């Protein structure tokens, strides 16, 4: 069961900024997106629902320091990407 990744305009801007700031993570980021589309529940992504003000979102790990936050629409098999960045950057809102 694969998921459709939806890249919002605001996410695209954040992703471009993230790519400029962290060119060394380009391949890890690409692999994370591919795995997310194939199987968002894969253990290496460490998918989890957030709490508090971000309770409507989930998070997956690019690596130990960087995350992607997303909306999971399970019935539609879609993942709407919301933010990408360091742990502190994506969890503030």
User: How many Cβ atoms sit within 10 Å of the Cβ of residue 48?
Assistant: 10
pLDDT tens digits along 52-74 = 998 989 999 999 999 999 888 76
- Structural domain of residue 9, as residue ranges? 4-90
pLDDT at 1 exceeding the cut of 80: no
- Distance between CA atoms of residues 22 and 78, nearest Å: 26
What total number of domains does the chain contain? 1
Dihedral over Cα of 42, 57, 59, 10: its sign: positive
Please state the rounded mean pLDDT for residues 26-36.
95
Please state the rounded mean pLDDT for residues 34-54.
92
pLDDT at 78 exceeding the cut of 90: no
Q: What is the CATH number of the domain that holds 21?
A: 3.30.2310.20
């Amino acid at each position: 069961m694969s998921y459709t990744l939806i890249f919002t305009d605001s996410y695209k801007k954040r992703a471009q900024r993230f790519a400029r700031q962290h060119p060394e993570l380009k391949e890890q980021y690409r692999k994370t997106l591919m795995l997310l589309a194939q199987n968002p529940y894969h253990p290496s992504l460490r998918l989890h629902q957030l709490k508090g003000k971000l309770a409507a979102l989930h998070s997956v790990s690019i690596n130990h320091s960087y995350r992607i936050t997303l909306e999971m629409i399970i019935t539609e098999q879609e993942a709407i990407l919301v933010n990408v960045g360091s742990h502190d950057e994506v969890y503030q809102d």
